[in-house]
Structure 1
Amino acid sequence: MPWHDEALVVSGEAARDCARHFIQRWNVHKADKYRFVESYPYLVPKSYSDEELFDHSVLNSILGEDRPAICVDAQCVRSVSFWSCGTQTIEHSIQNAYIRMIDNAQHFIYIENQFFISIAQDSTIKNGIGDALYRRIVRACIDKEKFRVYVIIPLLPGFSNVNAVQAVLYFIMRSINKGETSLFERLKQSGVTDPEEYISFYGMRNWDILMGSLVTEIIYVHSKLMIVDDRMCICGSANINDRSLQGSRDSEFCLVVNDIEMIDSTLNGQTQKVGKFCSTWRKKLFRQILGITNENDLNVDDPCSDEFYNYFRETARNNAQIYEEVFNTLPTNHIR
């Protein structure tokens, strides 16, 4: 099964903080499990001079001459607690960052994630991502704003155990559109007559000819990425589920990036200043998803416009229909 994943390469203060987080986690587990094992030494954080800290030559050598580094404002955020990092309090700054970024979004949100499990007013699911999206979309509806949310998730969970697949699908569908507390139903109850005018969900699939036969496979989305307004993004290890976001469970690490180098672009038909890093990343992903090999074939600058949003949705709808007719694929609306 082919995977789709996204990651960041950083240098400077953000890279130093990444290293210190790793050292903190290493030393906690060294003390807990390998205290008397000499082959697992304690690690000591390194001190850096300003000259060393802001030397980007290594980063430039990784990226190459054709991809110069872009200067950004980066902040490390985590999900950690006593068991994972030795902290006396539970830290869920990743969830805090997601919610704040969604609340502050002005034009659009683009999400890629391995999961989308977030149910408001639920006895089991506690994270607030779905509720933040609900609030922002309702606000857009009341204020008559043009606001778009694109969400890319796997078409099916990547587990071999049937019970696990069914359980994950159950919670994902309850998060999106099944039941009164799902995102779509709550939006409808709050006056958003057509939630898909604001938010839409997609999966990825590809085809090829193998040994003379036409075959297809799901492209498994493993990214944990959100880009907002082509100005800020968050990327790292955290899924949109309680395990990653509550802080007391899985240990996770992400970077929040705010652009400081601005370029001209278009959002909602208006000329806007957008971030060089975030907009470049988002446009690359849109071209990849839509199969655009020549930048001149389709302008992906404005994800808010009716023209582009409808094109994106119609392309996905047509592709889904073709795959169903040719391969009899799952999932499908014909089986509920």
Structure 2
Amino acid sequence: MESCLEMGKHIIVSKAQSWSGGKHKTGDMVALQMNPDKLVRVLHVVARAFISEMVIFTVANALYCVIRSVSQWSAGTSRTEESIHIAYCSLIEKAEHFVYIEGGLDDSGAASVRAIMHWQYRTICRGQNSIFHNLYDLLGSKVHDYISFYGLRSYGKLFDGGPVATSQVYVHSKIMIVDDCIALIGSANINDRSLLGSRDSEIAIVIEDKELINSYMGGQPWKAGKFCWSLRLSLWSEHLGLRPGQINQIVDPVSDSTYKDTWMGTAKTNTTIYQDVFSCLTPTTS
């Protein structure tokens, strides 16, 4: 608990430096009411209330490292820092079994957002240089056994008595979990704007578990990190609509029963339902 609070304090101070640096460089004349000490006190209250309500999510012993995307204009640093970018690349390259990434993009219809989405599609599945095209050359039709992309969507009423509506879920805290042992959590999207360091200022933390628990990976015994394992189970159970008694269905993240039967099966069913009810998906959406 105290480690989490100390990490939060460092993040607040770092962001305060970033905001102050940006204000100074842009000539913003609006007074910036920033009191890091006050924010830290608020953090203690909020963090303790949040942790006391967690059910599946478990705080454990771990190593923490703050990483950033900042530069001279945004944080007053002497050189551009892209440690979030470096961490993403390093953790993905060192992964042994699986990489799970949650990211978000505001589907507001703005031209800039649409431009980013265009290049993301080009990166994922459109064109000779896309991930899917290159993997298909190596794996053929088995490519979907190794990589897949999904969208989060929800439904509800905007007001009492109103019609049922649907919308994509915007993920603000981006997350990557590697092998149930290491997690990267922060504000940066996976694009040049967030990762180069010379553009948007971003902050994240890398969490490496030191408290290990018995789990499974690909049907074999595996030592998983207590925090990363419980974080993944918490997220997946929410996304898949699992009840507490069904968590055992997703303990092994790469088994066919988890990946194909539970994860892909749920996605296929939900896609059909949302399309039938709301007609909100294009033929290529999955």
Does TM, normalized by the shorter one, top 0.5? yes
Identity of aligned residues (%): 36
Whole-Å separation in 1 of the counterparts to 2:254 and 2:5: 32
Q: Secondary structure at the match of 1:95?
A: helix
Q: For residue 220 of structure 2, what is the aligned residue in structure 1?
A: 270
Show structure 2 runs of 5+ residues with no match. 38-43
Judging by fraction of residues, say which structure has more helix. Answer: 2
94-103 vs 15-24, which moves further:
15-24
Match of 2:18 in 1: 25
SS at 2:222's partner residue?
A: strand
Provide the residue aligned with 2:99 in structure 1: 109
Using a 3 Å threshold, how does the CA distance of structure 1 residues 34 and 216 change in structure 2: closer, same or farther?
A: closer
1:289 is matched with which residue: 239, 242, 249?
A: 239
1:314 aligns with one of 254, 265, 271: 265
Supply the RMSD in Å over aligned alpha carbons: 3.1
CA deviations 1:172-202 (Å, max 9, x no partner) are: 2101110001110011233454321101111
Deviation at 1:65, TM superposition (A): 7.7
Residue by residue over 1:3-39, the C-alpha shift from the partner in whole angstroms, topping out at 9 and shown as x without a partner, is xxxxxx9223x334324413432443454467999x6
| Superposition deviation, residue 314 in structure 1 | 1.8
Shift of 1:308: 1.1
Q: Distance in 1 between matches of 2:172 and 2:161?
A: 28
Counterpart CA distance in 1 for 2:116 and 2:28 is: 38
Change (3 A) 1:23 1:325: closer
1:225 to 156, 175, 183: 175
What residue number does 1:247 align with? Answer: 197
Structure 2 CA distance for partners of 1:112 and 1:181, relative to 1, 3 Å: same
For 1:135, the equivalent position in structure 2 comes to none
2:85 to 91, 95, 98: 95
Equivalent residue number for residue 86 of structure 1: 76
The answer to whether the aligner puts 1:72 opposite 2:62 as a matched pair is: yes
1:109-148 equivalence runs, <5 A: 109-115=99-105
State the TM-score, normalizing by the size of structure 1: 0.71
1:114-193 correspondence runs (5 A): 114-115=104-105, 157-161=106-110, 163-164=111-112, 166-193=114-141
Encode CA deviations 1:79-132: one digit per residue, 9 max, x unaligned: 1111111222211000000011101111111110014xxxxxxxxxxxxxxxxx
* Contact in 2 for aligned 1:27/1:43 (Cα 8 Å): no
SS of 1:309 mapped into structure 2: helix
Aligned to 1:11: 5
AA matched with 2:100 = Y
* Residue from 300, 324, 336 that aligns with 2:250: 300
Aligned residue number for residue 277 of structure 2: 326
TM-score (norm. length: structure 2): 0.83
